[in-house]
């Protein structure tokens, strides 16, 4: 009987320690901030300071990160994308497997492209209706679909993406 009580108390202590460690990790990593739409959540990891600083100085500074980078098709799609991106980011940042010049994933690029077209639909519909004036028909990228940032490379994160070479990367200020 004494052995059973010891096992119960030991299991209880282990569970309490595990809950405490989980709470500590959630608090120290600011994990709950990722559920918000606050752009400052993007700089919880210091590797995103360049992207945040260049966005702050762009023509899109009034647009929140999630309005470009997450699906706008519904809350379920939004949180699925957040979970997938969060997992990929945490693995890459923890294991230091990302490039100095961070590149968007193919899935992320599709979401951004869709959101560019959605926000600027009056402009993009005009471009499509006048496409013969904007593109050469022998240009292969017209058939495969050109991304908005292929021409608008400085919107909204600037042309330079190196951690040490972006002019506005110093003095990142969190706007509340």
State the SS3 of the chain.
Answer: CHHHHHHHHHHHHHHHHHHHHHHHHHHHCCHHHHHCCCHHHHHCCHHHHHHHHHHHCCCCCCCCHHHHHCCCCCHHHHHHHHHHHHHHHHHHHHHCCCCCCCCCCHHHHHHHHHHHHHHCHHHHHHHHHCHHHHCCCCCHHHHHCCCHHHHCCCCCCCCCCCCCCCHHHCCCCCCC
* pLDDT surpassing 70 at residue 169: no
* pLDDT value at residue 8: 93
pLDDT in tens, 110-128: 999 889 988 888 877 777 6
User: CB-hemisphere CA count at 13 Å for 170?
Assistant: 3
Residue entry with tokens 């309490």: 16
Let me know if residue 148 belongs to a domain. yes
> Can you read off the two tokens belonging to residue 99?
């490039």
Let me know if residue 114 belongs to a domain. yes
Q: Domain count of the chain?
A: 1
Domain that holds residue 51: 36-169
Cα–Cα distances (Å) from 94 to 21, 31, 70, 91, 148, in that order, read 18, 14, 22, 5, 31
Report the share of the chain in percent with pLDDT over 70.
Answer: 79
At 10, the pLDDT band (50, 70, 90 cuts) reads very high
More confident residue, 113 or 136: 113
* pLDDT surpassing 60 at residue 25: yes
* pLDDT value at residue 51: 82
Let me know if residue 20 belongs to a domain. no
Residues 6+ apart with CB under 8 A from 167: 158, 160
Let me know if residue 24 belongs to a domain. no
- Omega cis (within 30) before 20: no
Let me know if residue 15 belongs to a domain. no
The CATH code of the domain that includes 130 is 1.10.3820.10
Q: What's the mean pLDDT in 24-51? A: 83
* pLDDT value at residue 7: 92
Let me know if residue 6 belongs to a domain. no
More confident residue, 163 or 133: 133
Let me know if residue 116 belongs to a domain. yes
* pLDDT surpassing 60 at residue 85: yes
* pLDDT value at residue 33: 85
| pTM of structure | 0.70
């Amino acid at each position: 009987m004494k052995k059973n009580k010891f096992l119960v108390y030991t299991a209880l202590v282990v569970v309490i320690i595990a809950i405490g460690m989980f709470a500590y990790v959630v608090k120290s990593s600011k994990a709950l901030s990722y559920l918000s739409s606050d752009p400052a959540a993007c700089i919880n990891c210091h590797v995103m300071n360049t992207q945040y600083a260049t966005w702050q100085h762009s023509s899109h500074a009034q647009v929140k990160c999630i309005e470009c980078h997450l699906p706008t098709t519904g809350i379920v799609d939004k949180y699925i994308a957040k979970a997938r991106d969060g997992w990929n980011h945490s693995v890459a940042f923890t294991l230091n497997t990302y490039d100095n010049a961070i590149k968007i994933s193919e899935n992320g690029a599709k979401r951004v492209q869709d959101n560019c077209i959605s926000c600027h639909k009056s402009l993009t519909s005009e471009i499509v209706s006048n496409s013969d004036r904007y593109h050469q028909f022998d240009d292969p990228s017209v058939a495969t679909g050109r991304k908005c940032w292929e021409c608008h490379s400085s919107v909204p994160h600037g042309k330079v993406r190196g951690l040490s070479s972006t002019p506005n990367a110093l003095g990142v200020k969190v706007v509340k």
